[in-house]
Amino acid sequence: MLDPGFWTFVGLTAGIYAIFALGLQVQYGLAGLLNFGHVASMAIAAYTMAILVVRFGLSEWLAAAFGIGAAVAAGLLVGLTSLRLRADYFAIVTICFSEIVRYVLLNRQDLTGGPEGTIGLLGRGQAAAYNTDWEGLVGRVREMVSSGTGVEVSRDVLMLFLIWLVAAALLLVVRRVSVMPWGRVLRAIREDEEAASSVGKDVFARKLQALALGAAIAGGAGVLYALQFSFFTPDDFEPLVTFFAWVVLILGGAARVSGVPLGALMFGLLFAGTRFFDFWPLSLLDSADRAYLRLIIIGLLLIGLMYYRPQGLLGRRQEMLLE
Amino acid sequence: MNASLRGGTAVEVDRTRLLEVRDIVKRFQGVAAVDRATLNVADGSITALIGPNGAGKTSLFNIVSGFARADSGSVRYRGRSIARLPPHRVARAGLVRTFQQPRVLRRLTVLDNLLLAGRRQPGESFWRALAPGAGRRDRELRRRALELLALVRLEDRADAYAGVLSGGQRKLLEFVKALMAEPLLVLLDEPLAGVNPTLRELLLQRLREVRAGGGITFLVIEHDLGSVMRVSDEVAVMSQGRVIFQGPPDATRRDPAVIDAYLGSADAIVGSGTPG
C-alpha cells in the first residue's frame, strides 16, 4: 500500500482518465451530447500514431499530431452524419462506431497487428516499437534531472508529472472557454436547441465543434496512453473504457470542469487501488476475484453518490432542481 | 441601434411592407394547418394576429421564423425571400420570435439568458475566447442587458437562475431576450397569456415605448383581444388556416366575417378591453 510505485500507477491512470474524461466533459457537460463511443477517439489516435511510425517511418511527433487529427476527422464524420439524430439515437450511433473501430483493429491484422496489438505491427517474430525517440528523450530528461539536482526520478514518475502537466493545461483551456461566450452558447444549446437558434446561434455547427474538440482531447489522451504503456491491443479500447470516462464525469459533477480531475483521482484510486487491496478480509479472495471487486465497489459508490449527491461531488445541487 | 442595420441595405426596401406572407400552405398529414394565408406587416407597426384556437397562428409563426417549412407560398422579409433560411439565419437577419411557452434557459442566469442573445460577440469563437480581452464585449452587453431587465423590473433577479422565475416573469424575460438580439421585427406568441394584470399592463406599455423609441416592428399573437386592440395599428384575423381580414382595429370590430369567425363571442372583440 505504501509502495511509491503503486501511487504512481494510481496517478498515471487518473491523469490519463482526467484528460480522456475532459473531452467528454466538453461534449456532454457543456454541449449535452450523449457520446457513448468516446473511446473510439482514443483508439484512433493511438493506433494512427503507432502505425505511421512503425509502417511509414514518420517521426513520432508528427505521427502523434496526425493521430489527434485522425481522431478529430473521425469525430467530424460521426457528427456530420448523425448529429441531427435525437440524442438517444446519436448515443447508439456513437457506441456502434466505437465498436466498428475496435473490430477493424482486431481483424485487419495486416494493418494493425490484430489481437496481438501494436507489438505485432511488423508481423510475427519481430517486436515493433513506436516510441523509441520518446523513450530516448525521457531518458535524457531523467539524466538532466539527476545531474542537476541529484534526485533520481523513475521513468514513471516523470511520465506522471508530464501527463498531469498536460491535463492541467487542457483543464485551464477548457475552463477558460467554458466561462467565455463560447461556453455560454454551448450551455444554451444543451438547455434548449430551439431557444438558442431563435437568437441566432448555429446549433449544428456548435455541436460539431464541441464534438471535434472533445475528440481532439481524447485523441491526446490516446497518444499519452500509447507513450506510457509502449504497447497496446484492441482490448484496451473496449466500450467499458468509455463508461469509465462517464464514471469520472458523474463522480466529479458533469457540469463542472473542475470536477473532472477530482473524479479522475477517485476513479484512479478505486480502479488501480483495488488491485492492491490484499489485506484481510480481502486477502481471502484470490487476486483474480479481487479484480472484479473494483467494479462492484465502483458501482456501489455510484449508487451511493446518485442517492446523496446526484449533482456529483462538485456539481451545483440547485441546478439539478430547476424546472 | 437599428439605424446602422438599416442604413447599409443596397436593396430597395418597400418600407410599408417589412414582412410579406403570400399564400402559405402547411399541411400536417393531410390537414391544412395553414391554408393560403396572406399577411402584410408594415414597417414600424404593431400588428396583432388574432383568431380562434387552431386557426394556424403559431404554425404561421413557425414558418416565418424558419422553424418549419411551408409546403407552398412565399415569405419575404425586407424584400428578400427567407422561406428556406434556417432559424438562426432568420434571427440574424433581425427577425426574432418568442415562444408561446417561454423558452428561457433555466440553468443559465437571467443575465446570461440576455447576454446570449447579444450580437457581435467575438468570444463566441473558440480561438478568440482563448485570447485576452474576450470578455470585453460582455461588459458592453451587460450594460444593455441590465437596462432591458430594468424595463421589465427583473433587474434584481439578474443573477438568479432563469429556472426560478415565475411563469409571468419568464414571459417578460422572453420578451426582452428578443429585444436583446437587436431585432427589426419581433414575433410575439401570446406574450400576455399567464401574466398577471400588473405585469400585463407593464408589458403593453413597454411594447408601445419600444416601438416608438427603437423603430422595432411587432407582430403579436394574442387572445386578450381588448388589450391587443388597444395597442395595435393593424389587426389580422386568422380562421381555419386563412387570414380572413386585415385592417385597422375599428374596422376589425365591425367586420361581419370576423364576428362570424368568433361565433357569438363578438362581445370579446367589441368589449371595452378589460382583460378576460
Q: How confident is the model at residue B268, as a pLDDT? A: 52
B67 CB neighbours in chain A (<8 A) are 194, 198
Residue A290 lies in a domain: no
Q: Please report the pLDDT score of residue B210 as a whole number.
A: 87
Structural domain includes residue A279: no
Proportion of chain B above pLDDT 70, given as a percent? 89
- The verdict on B20 touching A (C-beta cutoff 8 Å) is no
CATH topology for B2-104+182-270?
Answer: Rossmann fold (3.40.50)
Using alpha carbons, list the distances in angstroms from residue B184 to B61, B73, B215, B247, B248. Answer: 16, 23, 7, 22, 22
For residue A196, pLDDT beyond 50: yes
Average pLDDT over chain A, rounded to whole?
90
Structural domain range at position A8: 4-238
Chain A positions in Cβ-Cβ contact with residue B181 (cut-off 8 Å): 199-200
**Domain residue extents for chain B:** 2-104+182-270, 106-164
- Nearest CA distance, B212 vs chain A (angstrom): 23
More confident residue, A316 or B129: B129
Contact B115 A184 (CB under 8 A): yes
Residue A259 within any structural domain of the chain:
no
Determine, for residues A200 and B119 on separate chains, whether the beta-carbon distance falls below 8 Å: yes
Quick one: pLDDT band at residue B264, thresholds 50, 70, 90?
Answer: low
pLDDT given for residue B16 in this prediction? 73
- pLDDT tens for B113-139 read 999 999 999 999 999 999 888 888 989
| Cα distance from N-terminal residue to C-terminal residue, chain B | 36
Dihedral (C-alpha) B103, B109, B114, B119: value to the nearest 10 degrees? -110
Which residue of chain B comes nearest to A190, CA vs CA?
B105
Q: Which three cell numbers stand for residue B38?
A: 396572406
Of residues A199, A209, A319, nearest to B117 (C-beta) = A199
Query: Per the domain annotation, does A184 fall within a domain?
Result: yes
B242-247 and B234-239 beta bridge pairing: antiparallel
Whether residue A318 is predicted with pLDDT greater than 80 in this model: the reply is: no
Model confidence over B30-60: pLDDT tens digits?
A: 889 999 999 999 999 999 999 988 899 999 9
Contacts of A213 in chain B (CB under 8 A): 126
Q: What is the pLDDT of residue A187?
A: 95
Which bin fits B44, alpha (ψ -120 to 50), beta or left (φ > 0)? Answer: left
Chain-chain contact of A196 with B163 (C-beta, under 8 angstroms): no
- Is B134's CB within 8 Å of A180's CB? yes
Q: Which residues of B touch A216 (CB under 8 A)?
A: none
The domain tally of chain A equals 1
- Residues from chain A that touch B96, judged by Cβ atoms under 8 A, are 198-200
- Structure confidence by residue, pLDDT tens digits, A262-294: 999 988 888 776 666 667 777 777 777 777 777
Is A109 inside a domain boundary?
yes
Does any domain span residue A130? yes
Of B98, B129, B181, the CB nearest to A176: B129
DSSP 3-state of B72:
strand
Question: Which pLDDT score is estimated for B9?
Answer: 41
Average pLDDT over residues A13-38: 96
pLDDT of A273: 66
Tell me if chain A has a CB within 8 Å of the CB of B127.
no
The pLDDT value recorded for residue A4 is 79
What tens digit of pLDDT does each residue of A69-116 get? 999 999 999 999 999 998 899 999 999 999 999 999 999 988 898 998
Q: Examine residue A156 and state whether it is found in any structural domain, yes or no.
A: yes
